[in-house]
Structure 1
Amino acid sequence: MLSYQHIYHAGNMADLHKHALLATMLAQMAAKPKPMSYIETHAGRGLYDLDAPEALRTGEAQAGITRALGAGWFAADQPLMLALTMVRAEAGPDAYPGSPRIAAALLRPGDTMHLAELHPGEHAALITAMRGTGARIYGQDGFTMAHSICPPEPRRGLMLIDPSWEVKSDYQSIPAAITKLHRKWNVGVIALWYPILRDNRHKAMLDRLRSGFVEALCSEVSFPPAQARHGMIGSGMFVINPPWRLANEARRLEQVLAR
């Protein structure tokens, strides 16, 4: 359960889908003057070096963010590109921001950030990556953290749930966990990222979520695996209480990434 390290996959096609939607939501919500809370249950290390041996080994960044930048898939003012530009100005041209650093780039003074990461090494790296951002960082189970602070203050806000999915029971337990969180924080935007694998193991979970949250937004993209042996062939985001303009950007991204 504590073996997953995202450095092998940072900047891949799934990250582009997940992070572009996340950045869009944060930018849309930050456009209003009211303060907000950002909560992340599985934060990872927050910042990745795409020139690291682990990232180069899989080739996933080359098939994702490197290809996207070379082909001009995103406009310079797309919120993910704004965050990437800010991070690379500080951390160098091979840096790729995880969702905590994307959030830090787009949130404003007065907003709050709560990040949980259970993996000891990733937790230590997260502390370093988020230094100076004001984020509260928890070395504990992300759902435990989320339940303990919900509803947060400020009450307006967004939660990203992005587990490693190495534990197969997550597919059965996460709908109930999200339902409980929504009951405690019914105004919060709750976004779940999930992989689309060859065996479609996400479908039963998604059916349960859709039956409980009929007005939620579901965005999915398909793409070829970065290597023939890889099992992930797509990316999904399920968003409860989506910002009202998110559906348009989701449809646009689905077309951009279907290449």
Structure 2
Amino acid sequence: MLSYQHAYHAGNAADVHKHALLAVALDYMGRKPKPMTYMETHAGRALYDLGGPEAAKTGEAAAGIRKMESWFPEDHPYAQALDAARQLGGPEAYPGSPIVAATHLRDTDRLILAEKHPQEVAALRQAISWAEIHAADGPQLALSLTPPEPRRGMMLIDPSYEVKTEWTAIPELVAKVRRKWPVGVILLWYPLLASGAHQPLAERLAAMEGDAVLSEVRFPPARPGHGMVGSGLWAANAPWGWDDAARALEARFAAL
């Protein structure tokens, strides 16, 4: 959706949940010498300024990464991505998922990013010049490029869900991608909403056949009246150890 700007939400509690587990998955996959493909359907701008007016307006980063960064030791894959972002953009920089991915990909790997917003596309190209960046509809691109080459790899599906049809369209996209790319690791993020609007999507994912695990966390609203009260990350063909990492992170959130 062209009106959505993740700069207002970067570094929030949902980003911490999503990006920490994304980093864990990529770190493990990168330990094997075989090359891989990493794809994103909703890439955003890759690098965000937590010192900017957008983050200050919502207070979501203050309730997220500002509070939670101490959970991750320096050698944690997520901490490595945080450090990489600050080397690129200064001490107030925060990595979007493309930077998290780029931190852990190797020269032999392929990075494919889709984004529709022209300003976000321009920022992507500036931050990660070597990536394959498409100013295109992410779901359509995902279907056209799967199975990718190299076939080993991962796809992150991370829409804003501001378009109501995404709640039903995204599970259908996942099902189609899995049929075309059965060996691919697929990570799908969704918000947990006080309204319960996420429930049909979660139920559809739970009914899918095949190897998949789910991580859900809950957290206090970032501000009065904020509707997001948690984060869900569903993983098909999750790498070894991902489930254990998810349970450990869930325990951290449960203690908030």
- In which range does the TM-score fall when normalised by the shorter chain? over 0.9
1:184–1:214 CA distance, 2 compared to 1 (3 A): closer
Matched residue type, 1:94: E
Please state how far the C-alpha of 1:89 moved relative to its aligned partner: 2.1
- Residue matched to 1:114: 112
Q: CA deviation at 1:161?
A: 0.2
> Structure 1, residues 21-64: CA drift from partner, whole Å, max 9, x if none?
10000001001111100000000011001011111111111111
**Other-structure match for 2:167:** 171
Q: How does 1:215-230 map to 2 (within 5 A)?
A: 215-230=211-226
CA distance, structure 1, for counterparts of residue 193 and residue 25 of structure 2: 25
What's the counterpart of residue 235 of structure 1?
A: 231
TM-score, normalising length: structure 1: 0.96
- How many aligned residue pairs are there? 255
Q: Output aligned runs, 1:1-259, within 5 Å.
A: 1-69=1-69, 72-131=70-129, 134-258=130-254, 259=256
Q: Structure 1: which 4+ aligned runs deviate by more than 6 Å?
A: none
Q: Is the 8 A contact 1:213 1:240 kept in 2?
A: no
Residue 184 (structure 1) shift: 0.6
Tell me, in whole angstroms, the C-alpha distance in 1 between the residues paired with 2:222 and 2:208: 34
Name the SS of the counterpart of 2:71 in structure 1. Answer: coil
Deviation at 1:213, TM superposition (A): 3.0
Following superposition, the deviation at residue 214 of structure 1 comes to: 5.0
Which deviations, in whole Å up to 9, do the C-alpha atoms of 1:173-232 show, x marking residues without a partner?
111111111111000001100000001111111111221135311000000111012100
User: Within 1, Cα distance between the matches of 2:159 and 2:16?
Assistant: 16
User: What is the CA deviation profile of residues 123-167 of structure 1, one whole-angstrom value per residue up to 9, with x for unaligned ones?
Assistant: 121111212xx2100001001111111000100000000001001
CA distance in 2 between partners of 1:241 and 1:34 (Å): 17
Aligned mates of 1:227, 1:117 — CA distance in 2: 28
